[in-house]
Amino acid sequence: MSEQNRVRIFDTTLRDGEQAPGFSLRPSEKLQLARQLDLLGVDIIEAGFPIASPADAEAVRRIATEIRRPIIACLARCHRADLEKAAWSIEPAARGRIHTFIATSDLHLQAKLRMTREQCLENAIDAVRYARQHTDDVQFSAEDATRSDLDFLCRVVEGVIKAGATTINLPDTVGFTTPDDTREFFEGIRGRVPNADTVVFSTHCHDDLGLAVANSIAAVQGGARQVECTINGIGERAGNAALEEIVMAFHVRSDRLPYSVGVDHRQIYPSSEMVTGLTGQGVQVNKAIVGRNAFAHEAGIHQDGMLKDRRTYEIMRAEDVGAPWNPLVLGKHSGRHAVQKRCAELGLTIEGAELLEVYRALMAIADERKIINDNDIVATVSGVRTLSNGQTSTGQAQPAATAAVDPFDTPSTAAPHAMQESGYGHGV
């Protein structure tokens, strides 16, 4: 793939992610996560917002000292004090970036910053010039870019490129745009602004409408070559674009999305686990790529297909993202085939009438408990075997038909024989 289609992954888990409610991390935890992000292969780590607190500045400086391969970036408003603190924080870095920003939408200028467009433009240019005195790598973000007046935004982008900005980030700060908007927006600005081809354009999307990943991909199709994202999609409000979803979309659908990244997929799941562990905030079970159910199948028709050929219901493999592969969750939608397979994995060979007996007993448990675990399986097989041997714990003979669970109180008894083989659950 050509260098033109190389997309830089700018991870902001430690900045935008960390500033979300309930996600704050201590400096030592930030350093631990930065090491993992380095292993993951991200191009840029945004390590913090140094003016926000002395601990944040210290964390950025420690990361900049230790983590040598990726670019270490940190955030600063267009204020001298912010920029000085940012410069101090990245000073030890092998490659340090100052990321400065100011809002460009009239709403933010009037309601929040109480400044005119001209003052905004002047502040942006001054900040970029000042940052360039400390590092050659300066990123400028136009906060709320997607709700800004396009002509004014183009003037700001032109001004900061002249002042020395090397990356131009156009955030969808409030998660408002759609994929079509986003693509036209990037194409339009890159087409209009002089010297746009001398800088890297960047996208930063929030997920308020659940469109952050789709919008980020649309931005890349519109010419952006840096994507800002976070592990597990954590971030302000509904979060940022999820790194794992963007990377795997490029990987699985390279036919339509011919973009390359430097990320090692097999480090995706370990990174997700670390974020969950450090923050104490789990991901939703059905979260794409990293959720507990992302590679699990309970529906019997799916399980049967999976046992015959994984490609029937999988577009990527759990092991591709470093996740443990334990795809067959046994529940009330499972069939005998899956029960037999799991028993075999547990060292229990069961077939024929015994399999039917075990299957019915497990389905009765599933009606009560939603998920059947390995202990249930072992206990059920042992219970069925004890009964069919005519033995009970007291040594007295007992008829095999009276199992500990009611084998007939399950949906399977009413179904045709063929359905018991593969089980239930929707096929589509």
Q: Which is nearer to Mn ion, 16 or 207 (CB)?
A: 16
Size of the chain in residues: 428
CB 155 within 8 A of CB 183: no
Position 118: which residue type? Answer: E
Nearer to Mn ion, 260 or 281 (CB): 281
Please report which residue ranges of 253-394 form alpha helices under DSSP H.
268-279, 300-308, 336-345, 352-369, 374-388
Q: Bridge partners of 334?
A: 423
Residue nearest to Mn ion (CB): 16
Q: How far is the CB of 42 from Mn ion (least distance, A)?
A: 17
Is the separation of the CB atoms in 333 and 418 below 8 Å? no
For Mn ion, the closer CB: 186 or 359: 186
For Mn ion, the closer CB: 16 or 304: 16
Task: Name the residue nearer to Mn ion (CB basis): 12 or 334.
Answer: 12
Residues 206/211/212/214 CA torsion (nearest 10 deg): -160
Q: Least distance to Mn ion from the beta carbon of 143, Å?
A: 8
**Shortest spacing between CB 145 and Mn ion, in angstroms:** 11
- Smallest distance, Mn ion to C-beta of residue 216, A: 12
- Closer CB to Mn ion, residue 9 or residue 329? 9
Binding site for Mn ion (CB under 5 A): 16
Residue 204: CB minimum distance to Mn ion, A: 6
| Selection from 134, 77, 126 nearest residue 102 by Cα | 77
Shortest distance in whole angstroms from residue 46 CB to Mn ion: 10
Nearer to Mn ion, 101 or 295 (CB): 101
β-pairing, 167-172 vs 96-103, is: unpaired
Question: Which phi and psi (to 5°) does residue 164 adopt?
Answer: 115, 5
116: which residues sit within 8 A by CB, 6+ positions away? 109
79-104 CB burial, b ≥16 within 10 A, e <16: beebbebbbbbbebbebbbbbbbbbb
Find the shortest distance in angstroms from Cβ 242 to Mn ion: 13
Cβ closest to Mn ion, residue 98 vs residue 296: 98
Kindly give the pairing relationship between strand 200-205 and strand 167-172.
parallel
The minimum distance between CB 206 and Mn ion, in angstroms, equals: 6
Quick one: tokens of 83?
A: 């920029």
Q: Are 216 and 246 in contact (CB under 8 A)?
A: yes
d(CA 286, CA 296): 10
